Structures are given as C-alpha cells and as structure tokens.
Structure 1
Amino acid sequence: MIHQPTILLTENFQLHSSLPKLMAESLLFSFAESLIGKLATAAVQEASLALGVHSELKQMKATMALIKGVLLDAEKKNPQSSALNEWLTQIKRVFSDAEDIVDDFECEALRKHVVNTYGSCSRKVRRFFSSSNPVVYGLRMAHHIQDINTRLTKLSTQLSMFGLQIIDHDTRVVHVREMTHSHVNPSHVTGREHDKNEIVNLLMQDGDRQSLSVISIAGMGGLGKTTLAKLVFNDRNIDECFQLKMWVCVSNDFELKNVLIKILNSAPNPTRENFNNFETEQLQNLLRNRLEGKKFLLVLDDVWSEDPARWHELKEIIDVDVEGSKVLLTTRSHAVAAIMHTKSSNLYLLGCLSEEDSLSLFVKFAFDDGEEKKHPELLEIGKEIVGKCGGLPLAVKTVGSSLFSMFDKKEWESIRDNEIWNLKQNEEGILPALKLSYDQLPSYLKPCFASFSLCPQNTIIICSQISTMWEALGFLPPPKESESMVDVANHLVYELWSRSFLSDYFDLGADSTFTLHDLMYDLVVHIAKGEFERINLRNQKFPENAQHLVFMENNLHGQAFPHTGLKSVYLSQGMNNEAFLIKLVSRCKYLRILGLYSSEIESLPYSIGKLKHLRHLNLQFSKKLRRLPDSVCKLQNLQTLDLLGCVELQKLPKGMRNLISLRNLYITTKQVDFSEKDIAVLTTLENLNISYCDNLESLFNGIQLSTLKKLALVGCESLKSVPFHAIRNVNVLAISNCDQLELSMGVGSQIPDSRLKYVVLKDLPQLVTLPRWIQGSANSLQSLLILGCINLKELPDWLPTLIYLKSLGICECPNLVSLPDNMHQLTNLERLEMTACPELWKRFKPGVGQDWYKISHIKRVYNAQEEEDEEDEE
C-alpha cells in the first residue's frame, strides 16, 4: 500500500552536477586573522628581537595583512578558476608554514620559562630541556622566515591577476536569538499534522497475525522523516496502544549484533546491564525475553542497508507472534522499504512542504514573533527565497536562520540572487540552500563547523570535548575574565545552533550537547574536503594539503606515509603498530593533536618529547599502556592529557610540574596517592577527571587547587576522603561509583560558599539525603542530576533555596517518594525529570498526580517514557 504519491525531487535538486571543489580555502580568512594576531603577541615579539629577526617578522605580518584583505572577496566569488584555486592553495601552504614558525617561538618562550623557574636549582632540568645552540637556532629560524617572506612577496605580486577587492573586516555577524525555554527544547514543526495522523492510524490498525507489520516513511534527506517519526512516537494514542516503545537510530550500521544492543539499550533496563560484551546468541535470547507477550512499537530510524539478509535476521528475532506489534522505519531509499515489506506493510512517501507551510516555517526562523509585519518588502523577497528551497524543511529553516535579524534589503536580495541556486544538488547530496547558509557564516565559525567532519556520524557531541580540539587547533578566541575555554566553546556552539547548523541542542549550564543532521554532516564533510580527511581502505590516498587525518582502519602496514605538515592525527581503535607510531612522531614534528584512543600499545616512544607543538594527547582506554616516558613532560604546550581508562598504567611520569600549559587532565593509574609534585603544581589546571583509580584512598590532602573549574571522580572504589576546601572554586562536580567516599567532605553545620553550577551524583549507595555543601551554591547552581542512588530517601527542606536552579534530574532513585513542599520557590526551574522513580512519578505526574500542583509552574516535567520535546528537521 502506498500513501501520498509525490514527486520528491524538484528541478533544483537533481542528483548530478557539482559544487565548486575548493571548499577548504573558505577557512583561510579565519586562519589568516588568527595568525596575524599571533605575530603581535609578546612572546613572538621578544623572540624576534632576541634572534635579530624583528624586521623580517614585521615584513611578514604586513604582507600577510595585504593578502588577508582579499581573501573574503575570493571566498565570496566561490572561485572556479583553476589559477585562483592554485593561488589560494599556495597561500594556504605558506600560511601554514608561517604558523609553525610562530608557534616555534612560543615553544621556545615556554621552554625558557620552565628552565628559569626550575633549572636554577636542578641541573637535571637544564639537561632535560637542552636545546640546540642559540646561534644555530637563530640562523635556522632566520632562514625559514626569509623563505616565507620570499614566497609571500611572490604571491602578493599576483593579486592583480584576479581582480579581487580588499575587504578588511568580516561583516557577517551572527544575530543570536534570545535563549528561551522554547529554544532549549524547540518544536518548530510545520505542515506535518496530517502526515502524523495518517501514520498513527496505520500503527493502530490491527496487524496480520502471521507477520510483523512494518510502516516505512520514505523520502529524500531534509524532508523531516525523523521529526515526523518523533511526533508519532510521542503521540498519546501511541502510548495507550503499545505496552513497549523502543527507538533505535540505525544509520549505516545494520550489523546484527550492534542493532540488537541498541534495541536492548532503548528498552527498560531495570538491572542496568551493559550489553556490549554479550555474544549475539545471548543478545537475541535477552531481546526475545523482553519482547515476549508485549505489544511493542520499534522505530528504526535512518535505515540505509539494502541487504535483505540483514533485515530477515533481525525480523526472525523480534517477531514473537504478538498481535498488533509494529515496526516504524525511516529511510531515504525505496529499496530499503521494499526489502522490509511484509503482507501487512505500508509505504508512506513523505512529500515536500506546501508553499504556504514553507513560508510559515521560514518566517518562524527569519523573524522574531510578529516582526515580519514590519518588513513587507523583506517578506516578499523571502517568498522568492522559499520558492527556491523546493519545500524541504531543513533548507527552509537553515536559510531562514541565516537571515535572522538582518533587515538590509540588499542582503536578502543577495541571498535570493546568488548564483549557487543555479547549481543542482551534487552527487554527495549537498543542498545549495545549506551551502549558501554556510557561506553566510562569519569566518570564525567556519573552521569550528568544518572540524565536525572528524567526528563519527550520528553521535551526540559534547561541547567540553570538542572544545579541547578547538583550543588545540587555535580556533577559540581568548576567554574573557572568569570564563573558561569551555565557556568560549559553548558560545560558538550556541551561535551555530542559532543558525540551525546543529540539532538536538541541550544547554547543561556549564556544558552542552548537540548532534548533526545527516545532510549537515554531508555538508561538513564536503566543505572540509582537502583539509580534514578520514582515511579508510576505500580512501587510502593522503590529500597533498590535508592537515587533519582520521585513520578509520587499523591496517596501517604498507600504507603510504602522510606528508610532514600534519596538524592533527587520530589513529583507529586497536592500533598496535608501534613502528608506524615511531615514524609518525619522528616525521610529523608540527602535530598539535595526537589521538590514540583505545590503542593496544604498551608504551609511547621516548621521542614523543620532541613534539613540542603538541597540545592534545589522547590515550583514552589504551588498556595495555603500562608506562609513559618522562619525556612527555617536555611538552610545555600540552593543554590536554587524556589517560582515562588506562587501567594498567602504573604511575604518572616524573616532571609533571613542567607541563605549564596543561588545562585538562584525565587520569586512570594504579597509584595509591598523588603527590604534590604530580597535581598541585599544575597552576593552569581547569579540568581534572580521576577515574577507576582503584588504589586511591585519599585526595588533595593539604592541597589547594585554586584554578580548578571542573572535577570528576568516577569508579574510585577505595577513595574515602576529599576535603571540600580544596575544590571550593569548582564550577562542575561529578561523583560516580565511589562507594566508600564520605560525601560530607568534612563540612559540618557551617555551609561554605562555593561556585558550583552543575553537580552530578551517580551510583552512590551511601547517599540518603543531599550533602550540606550543595546549599553553599545557592547563588550559582543551575543543574543538579541524581542518578542510580538507590538509598536516597529524601530531598532536604533547603532544596528550594537553590533559587538559580534551572534543571533537576532524578533517575533510578526508587526510595524517593516526595519532593520538598516549597518547590514553588524554584521560580527559575525549567526542567524536572523523574525517571524510574515510580512512586515519585505517580504523585507528581503532570495533570493527574496528587501533588502535581506543587510543581505545575515548571515548564517541562517528564520521565524516560516521554519523548524529548526537542524537534529538529531530519
């Protein structure tokens, strides 16, 4: 049965032709601006004077400024000229080489600082940081600078060939919307009510007793298939019809074991089992037991695999002969829908939005409420722009967002008349509307967006994790007073979300999470091509100018080696080729990031200490790693050292005090304690995560960590004490699976002032009520999350004094049956979650609970069975 036959591809979106190939060059202006700023820093100025190259660097800066002035115009022209493309490629190369020289000066300044601080009392330190002869070093640097100036001068003389205009400042600014509750959980769904009702009716129809019923929502990317499926999944009629609902994002991974794990994880899991280590036979038995006798709805979102054998394998397992059970899937492929066809199956072809609905959606994103009435001329131009979007919600929303709070008629006309609309959607699925919106981004946001191409598709991205990469690559502006680098990154993430480049954005106060829509991921891979690349068995060629590589496969034997100018390298999980690693370290001396996540190596080469430009070293979950060479402590530029999950690591290397730039430290070791030489001397440390240190009994005795902003203590089974005074400046605190820890932290009746904004207490059986020190953050705490604390019996009467609290989450706390009476005093509380707390939910369930009136002022109250209100177009 086929519903709503619709022509899904309009004239603008035929799958051929191609957008201009040179995408990475659009990142050049931001790079040039950052580099010119570095040339003006005190460290570079001092080094240039000391080495006698001050006038040469001054000339370099002037020529760069001249070239930078035309880069925005070159970017605007979307160059297709091979000569201009080649010129921009040469600019990129010389700027990259210049950045390495500038960073070298900064490295030298940091080295001298360490030697001057510790070397006077230690010959070992002087030898440890010995450098080449200063005269030789100066001559070498002077030679490099002369070479760069020669190349820059040659390139600057070619400017007149291309007729480029000088534009000194990027006038594209992001007009950020006011943060409101509706924007935290947006529900901008237009024109899909009829579709939702049709599919709900299909799901509620009696199924065939002999076969599992499948309803397929099919349509091209950007139509809103996932949004529609969410609307259906969250419909009250569906809640009443099905005993069990499960949601799984399948995407490209239809490997049976992985799909079974995803389904089990989406079903209620009262014992909180971890299914990752189970075999397929165990998984299928567990799933069939969960489904037995239950009428269920399983949503398989974003299915790509057209292999019928994979679907039949899964169908055999989930078809447990329960009448009325249904599978709802979304897919871009009609072939997928045909493969999953059964006797009682339905194919629902999702059509484009009508012109009226498209305009209504556009207005929501281009104007504040009612503002369009003040600008009738812009609205007329908007109608023409909407007509070019072909009825695709994602295209309409993104272009509308790019015009938000822009009232210059010429700006709107330039969008309407842009030549990119004449290009047809290329074979990679890049929509002209999305590329056009990307072109409108301010230059400082473009490299941040491009870097998402290094992230796996269909994953939740955490801002605090991406911020360490942005910082290492120099994408972040300096923080303002009292700001952390994560705060800076959060601002940029929010700006990207406000322009509809990100989906499922959620503000956690001190952090945020988000995802990328499939078409946005396609776009980001396309625009980053040549700069950020993922290398696998199908794509083994190293692009000549790529600076950031992710190796997707572990088979590195016999691979051609990448060029030496790489800035970041991420090696695949399970990497055990030490010869490749040694060669990489010796050749790529300008690396800023080295990722060895879940590697099989037992030790790092001593030569790692020569990567003096390295900012980020990730060894997370390298479970065979036993030692780190002391030479790691020669990396004075290192900002992030991630040793989380390195369960065989015996101890931290000697000389940690020399890591004078370290901001983020994640530790798993077998140490019994951390001496003052290990952590207390790290005067720049902002983020400390101590996890699975099973031998650790006490922490921070006599130590004051004044710079620390974020602390996580996870799975430290022997940890008994942490003095609160050591962490009173912390903004974010997470404590999980530390069964022996005294949670009072030495705080008695007197409540200390603290600056906590975000607190997580997870899997702490000793927690019966909240510790008093939380009350000390009454003027700062915004998010409180309590998970798996099975003996928690009450929340204290002082909880309503936390007047700035915005989000309160209580999950899997079965003995908690009530909330304090004065919850109405929490006037800023916008989000209250009560999951797996049956008695608590019963009493406070919206509209029907006996105590609902106590919390009825809270904008969003929900449990895990309710779908999140965040609705982003698929």
Structure 2
Amino acid sequence: MAEQILFNFAENILLKLGSSALQQIGLAWGVTKELEKLGNTISTVRNVLLDAQEQQISNRAVKEWLERLNDIVYDVDDLVDEFATDALRREVEIHGSIIREVRYFFTRSNPFKFRYGMGRKIRDVRERLDEVAKDMRDFKFVVRRVDRPIERRVREETYSFPSSKIVGRENDKEAIIQLLMHSTDEENVSIIPIVGLGGLGKTTLAQLVYNDDRVQSQFQETLWVCVSNDFDLRKVIEKIVKSVGDTGSDNLKIEQLQSRLRQILGNKKIFLVLDDVWNEDLVKWRNFKDLLMVGGKGSKIIVTTRSEKVAEIMGTDPSYVLKGLSNDDSLSVLLKWAFKQGDEEKHQDLVNIGREIVKKCGGVPLAARTLGALLFSKIDVHYWLQVRDNEIWELVQKDYDILPVLKLSYDQMSFYLKHCFAHLSLIEKDGVFSKHVIIYLWMALGFIESSNQNEELEDIGESYFNELVRRSFIEVAEEEEEFKMHDLVHDLAQFVAASECLTIKSTTKSIPERVRHVNFDSSLHEEFPRPLLEVPSSIGDIKHLRLFGLVRNRGAKTLPESFGRLVNLQYVDLRGTYLNEWPKTFVNLRFLGLSTRLTSLPEKVIGRLTSLRTLIICNSYELTSLTEAMGKITRLRTLAVANCPKLVSFPS
C-alpha cells in the first residue's frame, strides 16, 4: 500500500507546487529555484513507483527503500502545507494580498534571516529526497509515466445503480420465517443460528426476514444489533437498549444496564437479530445468554455468524446452514451489476464468459456482485477473459476466501480512488456513516485536489464516493442518507491501509511509529487509552500524525502534553469528548469536530485555525456564542451546529 499512497502524495504535492499561491510565496521568499528542484525530484520518483510496487513483493530492499521514501515524502508534504498555512495566516493578520503581506513581514524583521530559514528547510528536505532518489539506480526501475489527469472527477451520468432486489434467497427466507412462526414449550426464547461463509449474504437474508410483515406482526418488539468482531458485553447491551429508543444509557453502570435490558425483554414476545457474531468465549456467551432468556414465551433470536462454534454455543435450535447461490443465480447477480438493464442481450459472448467466471465464485454473491461492478461498461472480450483466467482464482479455491476477488477489483481502481478507499478502514466496522463526513475526511487529508479553480472539491469528492458505491465497495444502508461497508470490504480496506491507519481498541498495546491516522473504537469511553501515554511509541512521538479521532470518550478531560508536538494534524474529531482545553499547536487543521461545556469557544485557539474548512459543533449545551476570532477562518466552507440549544450569537 505504501507505494500507492506515495503515488497519490506525489501527485498532490505537484499540484500544490504548481499553484499560483505557492509560486507567489516562492517568489517573495526567494526560494523559487529550490521549489522547482523539489518538484522535479518528486516527479522523477513518482514515475518509478508503479514498478517499485511490483518489485517490493519479492525484493526486501525495495520495500525498505519505499519505507524511507514514504517518510521523506510526508516531510515534503508537511513543509508545503506549513508554508501555505503560514502565508494564509499572515495574509489574514495584515489584511492584504500574499505578496504585500510577505513584504510587510520582511520590513518588520530580518528579511535575510527569514528568507534563509525558509530556503534551508526546503534545501534540507530536498537533499534527503535526492539521496533516496539516487538509490533508484541500484534497483533499475522501469519508468512508467502516468499523465496526471486534468480532471479527476469521475463521470457518472451514464450509470444508474442496480435495483436492490435480492436474487436467489426466497426459499431461504421462507424457511427461516417458518422457524420463527413455530413455537415449542421447551423454552421461552429460541435461538436460531444462521451459519455460512463470509459474503454469502447472511446479513441480507436476516434483513429480508426482519422486514417481512408477517414477522413484524408476530412479535411485540423487534430489535436489530450488530455485534461484530470485538465482543464487549456493555457495548452489546447498550446497542440493544438504544435500539428501543433509550438514549440515556451512556453513563449507566453495567449492573444498571443489565437491569434495563431485563425490563426491555422481560415478559415480551420479542424478535432479536444479533448480526455478525464472532466471540467464541463460552463464559462470556453464557452470561449474555442468561440475560436474553428472560423474554416472553415464543420469543426468537437469530444469530448470524461464520463460526460453527458460535452456533453451537449460542443456539437452542439446529443451525440454518446457508449455502451458496446456484450458478444461474450467481450469473444473474453478475450481469445485474455488469450491464444496464437489457444490455446483456447485445453481448452474448460476454455473457458466456460471465457464466464461466461465476462458476469460480463458489456461489458467493458478494464476489459475483463485485466482479460485475468491475466489468461494468467493459465490452472488450479480452478484458473479460483476463478476469476469468486471473491467477487469483487459485487462491480462492485453496483458501475459500473471497478477499483476493475483492483485491482484484481494488487493483483496477485509479490511484486516487485507492487512497480514498484505504482510509475507510478508520470507520467502525459494521457502522453506518454519512457521505458528507467521508468527503470532509478526504478533503482534510488532502486526497482531493484540483488544478481547476472553478471546480468545487466537494463535487469531486462526491464523484469519488459515488464511484465506490458503483464498484460495490460502499453500500446504501437502511436509513436514508446513510451508508455502510460489508465487513469483508472493511477487511480489505484495513489490509491495503497497512501501517498508515490504526483504530485503537482496549487490546492495543502500542502505536506503530509509522502510523499516520489514529482513530478510537467507540467502546473506549471511560478513560484515556493507555497506549497514548506509554512507550515505546506515545502519540506525541509520531510527528507525521495527520488524523486523530476521539469521538465519545467522555472520560478524557485534557489531552496529554505530548499532543503539543503534533503540529501536522489536519483532521481532529473530538465530538462527544468534553475537553477543557485544546493544544495551541492545532494550527494546520482542515477539519475540527468538537463538543464543549464552555459558554464560548476559546478565542486564541480558534483564531489560529486559518486553514480550517469544516467545523462541526454538537452536544454543547452551555455554548451561548461563537468567538469573534472565527472571522479569521477565511477558508471555512462548512459550519454545522447540532444540539446546542443556548447558541444564539454568531460572529458577523
């Protein structure tokens, strides 16, 4: 993944170096030639990255070279952003153009010293980059020129998303509904496991059953909870409690939560779906199962899982083992995604190849759907044959794993889409998310750049997002305007993100030095996570950290002092985390999400955020006014305020 992220960074750095604003800064500071040399070296390195990607698989030295290059390119990007942010801040303070502002600055200080300092920084990083670039000769990389696209926006006007009709699961649906309608006198609550390989559609099948009118009318309460990999008893109980509209459970102790759960389930005929269950700890499940068994007579629980052991531990009824789709149904799925409705009749030769492709999919609808999206608009017979004959099928047949199939589709993406997709690994697994929040994330981290000043970055980001939906890497969720990812697609995102992204959980012992983006699992809400405070790698030692998310950590009142060293942060999300103060070094932020118990935002902190594009404030019940310093945030494009009932004063 390193070389793909590097390629994207190289592209974005070249765009920044070519911007008129940075060229003006270079002219004013007398560093134009140094910036040109830097750009030339970046361009040279960029042209060999695609070949380096292939060589690193079998050549450890190439892999190490890419890691060294990765660190330096981050330094280059940080330096370019530092210049741009500093210039913008001075422009705001002086209320003039960039050139007038810089000249004004020279008259108030030692111009030679200032110019020398700026030039020295550029020269130092360029010399380091040149040293690494020289090593390219030892590897004899093949230069592969990739023309930088004038416009990265994906064209979508000719595509409409396939219908949401589910193929090949009607018989399975009816069989499970019959199990739900059948009652026995042996136990009040029956637990029916649905077991099957990843990607077979266990969740989709459970949703079909859950939404059926017969099921909804059969039970007094219907509940849906996604459990996922990390089984945390408190977290699961909270999800069940919140699913019935009880939002006051965040501060309850575990005993109080258990009591509330018994009240919800007790003496009611309930239908509960526990989706995507992994935990095989017998003791944990017995404790949880005891809580569930208080439901009224005729209550039913469906557990979807890939694990036969989970089914054995949890089930009171025999497991429903989900089989793969037939070849005909698999072909229907592939064709639905590969062609507009009716167009497959014009390409019978491709349909015949598709028939051979789906035989290798093992009846897994996710594999057929993803390959169909990959083949969309491709009418070249040779392209379809390459997919049919690709070596990844040997891996699938050996390991019964569709991850290589998803990787095949990922490999066909444009480099800028790969970068955006990889950072979806920071989303909580099985969680839902908003399109706009993801676009803000990409914008803040510099993944969306354009040489066209008349084109809105938000529009480009939306085209990226919609392309990932078209490719079946993002799915539309049940709720309007919300989206989700299949857990196997999330696994792929984590795989390709490698050491760039990290979600900290209760089991995390340390933070790798090369990590660039850190998020926190939502279950960490009682205290500040210890990995941030301990060696070998505390958070403050990661000088390149770009993203920090600590959403819903109610126990954190202040950030560790080491956060003062994180001068390159671009995206910080502290919503639901009520800090009393923020580091003054958060100056390069493009996105800030926060909650506060203060009556006004801190003026000295907000006034320095001149590069901020998105500010989201929520659940700040004492906030009455925003600081006048917000007038200095000249690049602010989005201000979103939610659950701030006392906020009546906005800066003019």
Same fold (TM over 0.5): yes
Q: What's the CA shift for 1:362?
A: 0.5
Q: Name 2:192's counterpart in structure 1.
A: 215
Q: How do 1:31-110 residues align onto structure 2 when only pairs under 5 Å count?
A: 31-75=9-53, 79-110=57-88
Deviations 1:708-736, CA, capped at 9 Å, x for gaps: xxxxxxxxxxxxxxxxxxxxxxxxxxxxx
Deviations 1:634-666, CA, capped at 9 Å, x for gaps: 82x33233332x214664224745533222233
Q: What's the CA shift for 1:189?
A: 1.6
Q: Name 1:403's counterpart in structure 2.
A: 375
Q: SS in structure 2 opposite 1:217?
A: strand
**Percent identical:** 37
Contact 2:421-2:493 within 8 A present in 1 as well:
yes
Partners of 2:205 and 2:3 lie apart in 1 by: 37
Q: Name 1:662's counterpart in structure 2.
A: 612
Q: What's the CA shift for 1:41?
A: 1.5
Q: SS in structure 2 opposite 1:187?
A: coil
Q: How do 1:547-696 residues align onto structure 2 when only pairs under 5 Å count?
A: 547-550=516-519, 554-556=529-531, 559-562=534-537, 584=540, 588-597=542-551, 598=553, 602=557, 613-623=568-578, 625-628=579-582, 631=584, 635=587, 637-644=588-595, 646-648=596-598, 651-654=601-604, 656-667=606-617, 668=620, 670=622, 672-674=624-626, 677-680=628-631, 682-690=633-641, 696=647
Q: Runs of 5+ in structure 2 lacking a partner? A: none
Q: Name 1:360's counterpart in structure 2.
A: 332
Q: How do 1:831-870 residues align onto structure 2 when only pairs under 5 Å count?
A: none
CA separation of 1:672 and 1:426: change in aligned 2, threshold 3 A: farther
Q: SS in structure 2 opposite 1:659?
A: coil
Q: What's the CA shift for 1:670?
A: 4.9
Q: SS in structure 1 opposite 2:319?
A: strand
Select between 541-550 and 39-48 the one with higher mean Cα deviation: 541-550
Q: What's the CA shift for 1:401?
A: 0.5
CA separation of 1:163 and 1:628: change in aligned 2, threshold 3 A: closer
Q: Are 2:225 and 1:231 equivalent residues in the alignment?
A: no
Amino acid of the structure 2 residue aligned with 1:453: S
Contact 2:152-2:460 within 8 A present in 1 as well:
no
CA separation of 1:410 and 1:95: change in aligned 2, threshold 3 A: farther
Partners of 2:625 and 2:142 lie apart in 1 by: 65
Q: Name 2:113's counterpart in structure 1.
A: 133
CA separation of 1:135 and 1:325: change in aligned 2, threshold 3 A: closer
Q: Name 2:241's counterpart in structure 1.
A: 264
Q: What's the CA shift for 1:432?
A: 1.1
Partners of 1:169 and 1:388 lie apart in 2 by: 36
CA RMSD for the aligned pairs? 3.8
CA separation of 1:443 and 1:481: change in aligned 2, threshold 3 A: same
Q: SS in structure 1 opposite 2:530?
A: coil
Partners of 2:391 and 2:366 lie apart in 1 by: 20
Q: What's the CA shift for 1:463?
A: 2.6
Q: Name 2:414's counterpart in structure 1.
A: 442
Q: Are 2:384 and 1:412 equivalent residues in the alignment?
A: yes
Q: Name 1:382's counterpart in structure 2.
A: 354
Q: SS in structure 2 opposite 1:423?
A: helix
Amino acid of the structure 2 residue aligned with 1:312: R
Q: How do 1:334-349 residues align onto structure 2 when only pairs under 5 Å count?
A: 334-342=308-316, 345-349=317-321
Q: Are 2:286 and 1:312 equivalent residues in the alignment?
A: yes
Q: Name 1:866's counterpart in structure 2.
A: none
Contact 1:650-1:669 within 8 A present in 2 as well:
no
CA separation of 1:128 and 1:436: change in aligned 2, threshold 3 A: farther
Amino acid of the structure 2 residue aligned with 1:300: L
Deviations 1:741-796, CA, capped at 9 Å, x for gaps: xxxxxxxxxxxxxxxxxxxxxxxxxxxxxxxxxxxxxxxxxxxxxxxxxxxxxxxx
Q: SS in structure 2 opposite 1:678?
A: helix
Q: Name 1:244's counterpart in structure 2.
A: 221
* TM-score, scaled relative to structure 2: 0.86
Q: Name 1:351's counterpart in structure 2.
A: 323
Partners of 1:400 and 1:76 lie apart in 2 by: 26
Amino acid of the structure 2 residue aligned with 1:144: D
Partners of 2:532 and 2:61 lie apart in 1 by: 37
How many residue pairs match? The answer is 637
Q: What's the CA shift for 1:538?
A: 5.3
Contact 1:291-1:320 within 8 A present in 2 as well:
yes
Q: What's the CA shift for 1:524?
A: 0.9
Equivalent in 160, 174, 178 of residue 201 of structure 1: 178
Q: Name 1:837's counterpart in structure 2.
A: none
Q: What's the CA shift for 1:474?
A: 0.5
CA separation of 1:51 and 1:538: change in aligned 2, threshold 3 A: same
Partners of 1:472 and 1:652 lie apart in 2 by: 22
Q: SS in structure 1 opposite 2:276?
A: strand
Partners of 1:551 and 1:129 lie apart in 2 by: 43
Partners of 1:530 and 1:204 lie apart in 2 by: 48
Amino acid of the structure 2 residue aligned with 1:640: F
Amino acid of the structure 1 residue aligned with 2:276: D
Partners of 1:444 and 1:283 lie apart in 2 by: 45
Q: Are 2:92 and 1:114 equivalent residues in the alignment?
A: yes
Q: Runs of 5+ in structure 1 lacking a partner? A: 1-22, 563-579, 704-874
Partners of 1:99 and 1:383 lie apart in 2 by: 47
Partners of 2:56 and 2:358 lie apart in 1 by: 22
Contact 1:458-1:516 within 8 A present in 2 as well:
yes
Contact 2:597-2:622 within 8 A present in 1 as well:
yes
Q: What's the CA shift for 1:168?
A: 3.6
Q: SS in structure 2 opposite 1:216?
A: strand
Q: What's the CA shift for 1:674?
A: 4.1
CA separation of 1:468 and 1:37: change in aligned 2, threshold 3 A: same
Partners of 2:333 and 2:536 lie apart in 1 by: 49
Partners of 1:173 and 1:118 lie apart in 2 by: 33
Amino acid of the structure 2 residue aligned with 1:531: E
Partners of 2:280 and 2:109 lie apart in 1 by: 58
Equivalent in 500, 508, 519 of residue 488 of structure 2: 519
